[in-house]
């Protein structure tokens, strides 16, 4: 395999789908040939030392008073490429990191793969100038890689000329998610959060626009009328946390909600095994849509039935009526409430969907299968 440099602005211990995707992709490759260039993080030392591949931390951008800020990253990449004898670059965040790929290819003949996770597409289409620059970066990439067919099709609606070089490489949950933690650990956590005798609804994700947490808080009183012993377990943090807490307090739901906060990804699995049903009511928000939804795949790996909001690539991660229920929060509350109540009360139906969800992960969402798609460039 070629010596590969992965460049990213989002990487553990930062929690998030992009960070997890990059870490899992690096582990799925020959780790002796992988170097990840990521931003400095105050809690990164222990994490970095535990990885099988090499991690290099830098302050990747100049302060805002210096423009273009990405010139610092350009010099860092140039030195790394020479020192480590890099043969291929994997670039995440098309703008501005894509500029570095273009320059490396032009002056040093090193090819680059451009990975898109959704947010960069929205940013890149925000103005005529950015669309022009995103097109230039895409033109020079050896391949453009998306995390879902939905994201790929959205990109091609703007840039149809790149259809022949567009490819989907799905994120996959870590294989460990398929294995249940020890019963003792589950019982201990159940006791800690007073879940015994309760029906547990789990939501995991960043508390931000488009994730639907306030919508679920709004619907919870109606759900509780039919599922009175329900507990809503929330794992995550983000800019909408204060607003969400206000909505919970406004509806007197403090005794129903367990706010866990942000959990490092390597500690996350057990929370899926505490739950009976997984729900995140994702939805389009000001042009932004879900790329795929790794949390839905993780929930499926744990055998959880899922209620998911229709947005972007969610319908690729959750198959409606096969591995879960996909709802549209913009088409009325009644259908969403009915879907959640059905999943929470019809145990036979929920168990069947959870079983089918887990089987789908085992057959379709394994990193070795996805990485094979990259062989023409990495070998």
Please report whether residue 263 resides in a domain. Answer: yes
Q: Which of 22-36, 170-184, 277-291, 362-376 has the lowest mean pLDDT?
A: 277-291
Q: Which of 106-120, 300-314, 319-333 has the lowest mean pLDDT?
A: 106-120
pLDDT value at 126 more than 90 = no
Is there a single domain that holds both residue 69 and residue 130? yes
Cα separation, 197 vs 224, in Å, equals 15
**Do residues 174 and 268 lie in contact, with contact meaning Cβ atoms separated by under 8 Å?**
no
The whole-chain average pLDDT of the chain stands at 95
Of 152, 169, 186, the one marking the end of a domain is 169
**Greatest CA span in the chain, whole angstroms?**
66
Is there a single domain that holds both residue 42 and residue 153? yes
The distance of Cα 55 from the centroid of its chain, to the nearest Å, equals 20
Rounded to an integer, the average pLDDT of 173-199 is 97
Q: How many domains does the chain have?
A: 2
Cα separation, 182 vs 180, in Å, equals 7
pLDDT value at 189 more than 90 = yes
Please report whether residue 124 resides in a domain. Answer: yes
Q: Which domain holds residue 36?
A: 4-169
Looking at residue 123, its pLDDT comes to 67
Please report whether residue 375 resides in a domain. Answer: no
Is there a single domain that holds both residue 199 and residue 113? no
pLDDT value at 133 more than 70 = yes
Give the pLDDT band of residue 122 (cuts 50, 70, 90). Answer: low
Is there a single domain that holds both residue 228 and residue 82? no
More confident residue, 118 or 197: 197
Is there a single domain that holds both residue 136 and residue 179? no
- pLDDT tens readout for residues 204-263: 999 999 999 999 999 999 999 999 999 999 999 999 999 999 999 999 999 999 999 999
pTM: 0.94
Give the pLDDT band of residue 121 (cuts 50, 70, 90). Answer: low
């Amino acid at each position: 395999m070629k010596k590969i440099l992965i460049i990213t602005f989002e990487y553990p211990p930062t929690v998030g789908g992009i960070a997890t995707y990059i870490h899992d992709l690096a582990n799925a490759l020959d780790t002796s040939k992988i170097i990840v260039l990521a931003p400095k993080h105050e809690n990164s030392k222990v994490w970095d030392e535990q990885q099988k591949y090499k991690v290099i931390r830098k302050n990747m951008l100049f302060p805002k008073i210096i423009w273009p800020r990405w010139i610092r990253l350009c010099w860092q990449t140039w030195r790394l490429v020479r020192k480590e004898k890099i043969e291929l670059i994997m670039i995440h965040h098309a703008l501005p990191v894509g500029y570095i790929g273009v320059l490396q290819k032009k002056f040093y003949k090193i090819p680059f793969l451009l990975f898109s996770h959704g947010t960069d597409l929205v940013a890149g289409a925000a103005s005529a100038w950015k669309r022009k620059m995103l097109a230039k970066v895409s033109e020079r990439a050896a391949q453009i890689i998306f995390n879902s067919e939905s994201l790929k099709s959205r990109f091609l609606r703007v840039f149809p000329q790149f259809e022949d070089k567009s490819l989907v490489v799905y994120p996959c949950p870590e294989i460990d998610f398929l294995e249940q933690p020890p019963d003792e650990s589950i019982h201990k956590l159940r006791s800690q959060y007073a879940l015994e005798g309760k029906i547990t609804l789990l939501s995991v994700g960043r508390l931000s626009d488009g994730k639907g947490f306030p919508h679920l808080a709004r619907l919870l009183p109606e759900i509780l009328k039919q599922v009175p012993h329900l507990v809503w377990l929330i794992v995550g943090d983000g800019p909408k946390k204060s607003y969400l807490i206000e909505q919970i307090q406004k509806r007197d739901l403090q005794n129903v909600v367990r706010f866990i906060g942000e959990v490092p990804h390597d500690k996350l699995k057990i929370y899926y095994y505490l739950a009976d049903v997984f729900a995140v009511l994702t939805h389009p928000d000001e042009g932004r849509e879900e790329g795929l939804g790794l949390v839905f795949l993780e929930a499926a790996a744990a055998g959880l039935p899922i209620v998911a909001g229709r947005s972007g690539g969610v319908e690729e991660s959750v198959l409606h009526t096969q591995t879960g229920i996909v709802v549209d929060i913009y088409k009325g509350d009644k259908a969403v409430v009915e879907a959640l109540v059905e999943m929470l009360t019809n145990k036979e139906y929920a168990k069947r969907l959870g079983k089918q969800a887990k089987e789908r992960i085992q057959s379709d969402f394994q990193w070795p299968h996805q990485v094979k798609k990259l062989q023409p460039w990495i070998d």
